[in-house]
Chain A
Amino acid sequence: MLNQKKLIVSHAPFCHDGSSISVRSYHMMIAALPAVLFGFFQYGINAVGVVALSISFAIIWELAINKVTKRSISIGDGNTALIGLLFAMLLPATSPWWLVITGTFVAVVIGKHIFGGIGGNPFNPVLIGLAILMVSWKDFFDFDQALLNYDLGFAMVYPLAAVKHLGTPGIEAFSTGGLLLGQQSGGIGATFGLGLILGGIYLIVRGFIRWEISISFLAGIFITALLFNLNNPTLHAGPLFHLFTGYTLIGAFFLASEDSSSPVNFIPMLIYGAGAGIMTVLVRNLGSYVDGVVFAILLMNLINPIVDKIRPKALGKVV
């Protein structure tokens, strides 16, 4: 039999850190916990509902697709639960139930399984889900509109919207310390900077994410924002503001570092991270969207395969 399958080679990534997928997934969820709990504290039961529904439906969709495609049940590896959690962290606490259910469907089924499941997805599934929803139901992702009825005791205008429309005079009410401590409106698990940084450091130290990507992403944002700010300080916010607002920190530690959509070689990782950072600030300062993290990372996902070709030549190789 010629067509007998003897050896099946799976997709990238091949990079192995010695632990199983489930260990990685659950550690990432634990690392995200401070930021999520802070979201519960700020937005109460609405936030709990969004997160709980999002994780459970992500798993349900994965289970459904396992059954439909007659594959082995893969929900045990925790990857889909992680997708559900990260997706919920980006949403406003007032997201209606159908938005959560649709979003997790797009993330898990279209973002992940259409491309062959874990390890095969060229794009970050969470961001696919979010991007498609953002384009379809823009108003639900306008944090100013979504969070109209919350009064949490600090300036509740979405910082990135304020600076986009009013320039730096519009963001005088925000201090760097306040932003780090989560005194800003935004996604359920995306505003508590300190918590996200602690989670990120934990993941880097334990080797679950690559520091090269996170750090180059943040550096790309810092430098680009600084250049814009120096060029026109009344129109463009400073670098620290961009680091601690919007989806920057959750993007750096939890989204850009998703393994099958990011490079594995050193230089490519730096290019990938920095490219996403630069794009983020370009969208924020010049584009029509208020935040650019989602589209910037997706764009870099797209060119990731080309970037990852940049690697040291094998010794003695001809061509």
Chain B
Amino acid sequence: MTPQKELKLAYSLTIILLVVGVISYAAAPAKTPDEPVRMMFKVVAGNVLFDHKTHTVETGYGLACIDCHHHRAEDEEEEPFLACGYCHQIPKEGEALPQSCVECHEPDEIEDTEMIKRADAFHSQCEECHKDAGIGPVKDEERCAWCHFMM
């Protein structure tokens, strides 16, 4: 190839790839699917990688949605699955319960409910099930690192 031809090739390559690149970025599908595949919880103690899909599908661990998304009307298909932190949060100053409760409840009907905060909700739900089923490392000191990937 002569230098002129090489230069022409490089210019055409640049223009074509620039167009392809911009179109691909514009056309790339939205990032978050309706139902999460995997999720990463960012924690100072080390990030937790949770394989949502494998926990739910039949070929994985085959759990029912309600096993984890525990606080919802069982028969209502339409109702969205809420993040745990939506309810499991520290109530604002002066309030007994998180604001989100009153979207579905009258304040007086739920007055004496004990709420646990988000991280505790995770720990107790995830671990109750795992320990019942004998999953994960046996030694307690290895358990934290099993979920929390220290960087």
Contact = CB atoms under 8 A, between A and B. Distances in A.
Interface of A: 22, 45-46, 48-57, 59-60, 63, 73, 75-78, 81, 94, 97, 144-145, 148-151, 156-157, 161, 165-166, 288
Contact of B14 (A59, A149, A150, A161): A59
Given A46-B28, A149-B33, A149-B37, A56 B18 contact: yes
Contacts of B53: 151
Given A63-B14, A81-B10, A144-B40, 10 more contacts: A22-B1, A49-B25, A52-B17, A53-B21, A55-B17, A56-B13, A144-B38, A144-B49, A148-B36, A148-B39
Q: Max chain A CB contacts within 10 Å: which of B6, B17, B22?
A: B17
A53 B25 contact: yes
A13 B4 CA distance: 25
| Most A C-beta atoms less than 10 A away, residue of B7, B21, B23, B149 | B21
B150 interface: yes
Interface string B22-34: 1111011101110
A148 B23 CA distance: 23
A75 B17 CA distance: 15
Interface in B135-150: 145-146, 149-150
A306 to B, nearest CB: 33
B9 interface: yes
B55 to A, nearest CB: 13
Contacts of A77: 6
Interface string B71-103: 000000000000000000000000000000000
28 contacts: A22-B1, A45-B24, A46-B28, A48-B20, A48-B24, A49-B21, A49-B24, A49-B28, A52-B17, A55-B13, A56-B18, A57-B18, A59-B13, A60-B14, A75-B11, A76-B6, A94-B31, A97-B25, A144-B38, A144-B49, A144-B149, A148-B38, A148-B40, A149-B32, A150-B37, A151-B37, A156-B38, A166-B146
Nearest to B53: A151
Nearest to B27: A45
Contact of B47 (A52, A97, A145): A145
Contacts of A156: 38, 51
Contacts of A48: 20-21, 24
Q: Secondary structure of the A side of the interface?
A: helix
Contacts of A22: 1, 6
Given A52-B21, A59-B13, A45 B28 contact: yes
A282 B28 CA distance: 38
A206 B142 CA distance: 51
Main secondary structure of the interface of B (DSSP, over half): helix
Counting chain B residues whose Cβ lies within 8 A of the other chain, the interface size class is: 35 or more
B3 interface: yes
Contacts of B104: none
A42 to B, nearest CB: 14
Given A45-B28, A48-B20, A148 B7 contact: no
Nearest to B46: A165
Contacts of B40: 144-145, 148
B44 interface: no
B133 interface: no
A76 B7 contact: yes
B17 A53 contact: yes
A97 B59 CA distance: 36
Nearest to B5: A76
Q: Which of A52, A145, A166 has the most B CB atoms < 10 Å from its CB? A: A52
A161 B49 CA distance: 11
A147 B122 CA distance: 23
Contacts of B17: 52-53, 55-56
A76 B9 contact: yes
A165 B150 contact: yes
A92 B7 CA distance: 30
